[in-house]
Amino acid sequence: MFILAALLAASQLRAEYVVLRSGQRLVVTGYQLVGDKYRLQMAGGAVEIPAEDVVTIEPEEVFTPVPAQPAVKPPYRELVEAAAARYKVDANLITSVIAAESNFDPKAVSPKNARGLMQLLPETADMLGVLDIYDPKENIDAGTRYLRDLLQKYNGDLVLALAAYNAGPDKVQKYGRVPPIPETISYVRRVKKNYEKSKKTAAAKTITPAATPAKSPSPLSTSAVR
């Protein structure tokens, strides 16, 4: 079967997985939705399959490893906390988005040409006044501001904000919900899962016997949604 042959030929590539309803996982170097079919680019060439046969598209997420840090804090934590304070967005949410977008690789470039830690498209970066899209400080600041704007746009609805961050506000507006795009559905689930986990970890570290339990931080504080 051609798909299986192409899968074997592409098995050494670092790209993305296309999961089919049959249970097959195809490794692709690129894909495009054309009508009701996906055109998959593989090591052995291109193949088209019905969109209804695709369950999800998952990034292989193999990036240049970040050197081990002696500190407990995640990479770029100081920049994240600065942006979090500036735009009133939870730092754990920003970190979760960065983890899903680039795995903390400041030079990451996606097949769709999104770039940097928070995977900004060049046109979005221009709109936000970014001069160097690969600069961690600029990228995190602009990405957080964009995320803040989306949270405001959707009245604090984290799911819709994340969907818009991944697929674009136009797609969310078109469907009135999370777009039925496998990549976007998977993205929202991964970010939310990591965000909830990080919030629980942070809460466990801050609780002390004499302290009053703190309220779990919201993605966007009310002071930023006036």
Element (H, E) at 32: strand 30-34
Yes or no: say if 75 and 104 are a contact pair by the CB < 8 Å rule: yes
Helix 182-206 and helix 158-167, axial crossing angle in degrees, nearest 10 = 130
Provide CB contacts within 8 A for 186, sequence distance 6+: 56, 57, 58
Catalytic residue among 16, 52, 58, 101: 101
Phi-psi region of 216 (alpha: psi -120 to 50; beta: other; left: phi over 0): beta
Yes or no: say if 142 and 135 are a contact pair by the CB < 8 Å rule: no
> In the annotation, is 48 catalytic?
no
Yes or no: say if 218 and 157 are a contact pair by the CB < 8 Å rule: no
* Phi, psi (degrees; rounded to nearest 5) at 100: -75, -35
Strands 54-59 and 16-20: antiparallel
Within 10 Å of residue 55's Cβ, how many Cβ atoms?
A: 17
Our CA angle for 115, 180, 88, nearest 5°, is: 50
Q: Alpha helix locations (H) across the chain?
A: 2-10, 77-87, 91-102, 122-127, 136-153, 158-167, 169-175, 182-206
| Catalytically annotated residues | 101
